[in-house]
Structure formats: structure tokens, C-alpha cells
Homo-oligomer: A and B are copies of this chain.
Amino acid sequence: MSIENLLSEGIKATPPSFVRGILKAASDPSVISFAGGLPNPISFPQDELLTSMEHIVKTYGSNVFQYSITAGLPELRQYIADRYNRIFGLRLTIDNILITTGSQQALDLIGKVLLDKGDGVIVEKPTYLAAIQAFSMQQPQFYPVELTEKGMNPEQLKEALQNPVKFIYAIPDFQNPTGLTYSAENRKCIYEILKNHEVVLIEDDPYGELRFDGERLPYIGVGKLPNSILLGTFSKTVTPGMRTGFLISENEELLKNISIAKEASDLHTNIFSQYLIWDYLKNNDLDNHIAKIKELYKKQAHAMMAAMDQYFPSTVKYTKPHGGMFLWVTLPEGVSAMSLFPKALEKKVAFVPGDPFYIGSDNTNTMRLNYTNADCKTIEEGIHRLGELLKELSM
């Protein structure tokens, strides 16, 4: 008996993650991989986390091992509210914060709470592939809006909003996959467009803390648009393995519904990890720790850009990120990055072809490169190999 007949339309509409699929091919130790999205392990404060583990087990005993509440550890939620209030002049309380099992879960919950089949979702073009994956489970209609060096194309956004759209999913800082950041002007412009629409704005901000050039910019929605959601995570600043993210919304009704979806999805996020991260944050200087990560990533990003200037044909363009983990390469028109991929693997270098970051586009001339998980020397060597390949194909 085939299981095929029993599968839901939702799962059939959900693509497996291309990145996770190719990570195996890229895990050969002789391959230099720019394909993953892994933080540099140097960014994990291992010794301090071990100290905090010992401390919380001794101090809170069985509480760190028992079932807990869906919203998340109040002390950790208070820390998050305080930090965002301090940096961005907001007025968040712990009731505005829901701890999620990584930011990925937030995407899943948002899909569940807002989308019925056929509902509209506006995304950047290109956008984060795992967001496409999470939302696809609900079989929405995607409306991609062009992402430019300045941010979301306002005219295309207005046009897309003519459709019955439930929410807009945006990554305004150091976007995944492009590394692009919305300008202050573009943010204001988007705010002006959205303030008169009955629509939810989702700002996904996993990388905002990792700005290594320039100044942080204000959010578009939080504190201003009533139907606004902001996503954050400790994955890029403390540890991704603990799957501890958070969702911020000042819309009480919306957050209540997301909490019900969360309860139905996994009851609550790992409470040990919540205690651990809170204890770490309380007893260490996070800004100081992040400063070290930023210095590291800045060096690595600049090493990659310098190597591309040296080894890539001048017909190949790339973005110049001011933070985050990725940059985006555009090959000459008509060149398929996907068909380049196996040839690159032969040269022992890997990247992610752009296709899975688009809604229904094949053989695009784009690719995503990650610079956080290799040292500068390795980055130079990998870009050298890639450059050789591009030149052989006489681009």
C-alpha cells in the first residue's frame, strides 16, 4: 500500500530544504564550503555556558528539568524586553514576548495563525528559503517584491498589496540571502505604505546584532504599526544548537493566538536552555561578546570581497554587506548558477545556487556565499578556486 494517497496537500506543496540537501555534498573535508549558514564556533561562549549550567542546576534544581509555561521563562523575556527598549527606545513588556524553538518555529507559527490556502504573502525577491518552506505548508499565494540595494521596491509593494494579502515577510538587516540592508528612507517609505493597510508586517532580524559597518537603523513596524511582529534569536550571538529564538508583538490578540499555536506545536521551548541563556546573559557582557564576533565576521567578509576583486572576472557582481553572514553574487545574464554547482564541487568549493531563494525561478544567475564559517585564508583559497572556474567558462 502506497503512503502517497494519504499525504496532505500541504506537505506535497512544501519543498525540502535545498541547502540541507547539498550540505552533505559539501561536508567532504577537502571541499571549501560557502554553502552553509553556520556561525563561527568561536562565537559560542563555551566556558561561560558551562559555568552557567553548573550554576542553574545548583540554584534552580528541578525547575530547569520540569515542564514549563508556553510563553517562556519570564526572566529571559524581561531581559529581551529591556534590551530592545534600551537599544531602540521601545516600551515592550514581557507580555509582548514569546520564546520560540528557534526563529524557524516563529515562521511556522505565523503561517499557522495567519494563512489559509490561497491567502497572499508578500516576500522579498529573493527571500530566505526556509521561510518559503515554512509558509508553503499552508499553500499560500506568494507575491514576490523586488529587493534592491535600498530595500523593498515601494511601487511593487503597493501593487502587491492590491491582492488579498495576510502578511509581508521582510528581513531588513543583512538579508538572507543577499546581505542587503534597507535604507532608513526605504523603511520610512514602507511604513507609510503599510500604515493604512490591514496587514501584518513581519520583520525577521536574526542578524541585526551583527552589524560591523555603520549604525543600526530603526525597525519599520515594532512600536509603530499595530499589526507588527519582530523576530529575534540567540542563534547568531550565543548558540544555535539550543534552538532559542523569540517573537515580539505588541498586538495582544495576535500574540495570544500565536501562543495557542505554539502550545499545540511543542507545549513550550526547552526550559533548561532558557534558564541557561538567561543566566549567561545576566553574568556576562553580551555587547562585549558580540563585539568580538563582529570583528571576526568583518575580517572574513572583507577577505571574501578582496578575494573576489582579485580572482573574479569583472563581469561578475556582488553585494557588499555591512553585517550578517552572507553576500550575493550575480553572474552574467544567462549563466545558470545551478549548472555551475557540480563543476564547483569538482574544484572542491561549494555555494548555494540562487534558485531556492526565489518563488518558482529556475536557473537564475545568482548564488549565495557564506563567510562566517571559514578563516580568511580558507576564504581566499575558496574564492580563488571559484574564480578559476568562472574564468575557465570565460565570463
**A residues whose Cβ falls under 8 Å from a Cβ of B:** 1-11, 14, 16-17, 20, 36-39, 41, 44, 46, 49-50, 53-54, 57, 61-62, 64-70, 101-102, 104-105, 108, 112-116, 119, 130, 133-134, 136-138, 166-167, 198-200, 226-227, 235, 239-243, 251, 253-254, 257, 260-261, 263-273
Q: Kindly list the 8 A-B residue pairs having the minimum CB-CB distance in the complex, ordered from nearest.
A: A41-B62, A65-B239, A44-B65, A241-B271, A133-B264, A65-B241, A101-B266, A105-B266
B113 touching A7 by the CB < 8 A rule?
yes
Return chain B residues, CB-CB under 8 Å to A114.
6-8
A240 touching B270 by the CB < 8 A rule?
no
Given A8-B112, A10-B112, A227-B3, are A263 and B54 neighbors across the interface (CB < 8 Å)? no
CB distance from A372 to the nearest CB of B (A): 12
A40 nearest CB neighbor, chain B only: B62
Query: Looking at the complex, which one of B14, B37, B269 makes contact with A260 (CB distance below 8 Å)?
Result: B14
17 contacts between A and B (CB under 8 A): A1-B226, A3-B227, A5-B198, A6-B227, A10-B138, A14-B261, A14-B264, A41-B65, A53-B57, A66-B239, A102-B266, A102-B267, A105-B265, A130-B267, A136-B264, A242-B270, A243-B266
A167 nearest CB neighbor, chain B only: B6
Return chain B residues, CB-CB under 8 Å to A61.
41, 46
Given A116-B8, A265-B104, are A46 and B20 neighbors across the interface (CB < 8 Å)? no
Return chain B residues, CB-CB under 8 Å to A39.
66
B273 touching A20 by the CB < 8 A rule?
no
A139 nearest CB neighbor, chain B only: B116
Given A11-B113, A65-B240, A116-B8, are A20 and B50 neighbors across the interface (CB < 8 Å)? no
Query: Looking at the complex, which one of B68, B102, B265 makes contact with A108 (CB distance below 8 Å)?
Result: B265
* Residue of A61, A104, A112, A115 with highest tally of chain B CB at under 10 A: A112
A68 touching B241 by the CB < 8 A rule?
yes
CB distance from A55 to the nearest CB of B (A): 11
Return chain B residues, CB-CB under 8 Å to A70.
20
Count of identical protomers in the assembly: 2
B6 touching A104 by the CB < 8 A rule?
no
Q: How long is the Cα–Cα vector from A46 to B264 in the complex, in angstroms?
A: 28
Return chain B residues, CB-CB under 8 Å to A257.
3, 7, 11
B38 touching A46 by the CB < 8 A rule?
no
Q: How long is the Cα–Cα vector from A4 to B251 in the complex, in angstroms?
A: 11
Q: How long is the Cα–Cα vector from A167 to B3 in the complex, in angstroms?
A: 11
B104 touching A266 by the CB < 8 A rule?
yes
Q: How long is the Cα–Cα vector from A288 to B138 in the complex, in angstroms?
A: 45
B266 touching A108 by the CB < 8 A rule?
yes
A5 nearest CB neighbor, chain B only: B198
Q: How long is the Cα–Cα vector from A38 to B268 in the complex, in angstroms?
A: 14
Query: Looking at the complex, which one of B3, B115, B260 makes contact with A254 (CB distance below 8 Å)?
Result: B3
Return chain B residues, CB-CB under 8 Å to A6.
114, 166-167, 198-200, 227
Q: How long is the Cα–Cα vector from A115 to B11 in the complex, in angstroms?
A: 9
Q: How long is the Cα–Cα vector from A331 to B273 in the complex, in angstroms?
A: 42
Additional 6 contacts, C-beta under 8 A, given A65-B240, A102-B266, A241-B271:
A6-B167, A8-B113, A44-B66, A134-B264, A266-B266, A272-B273
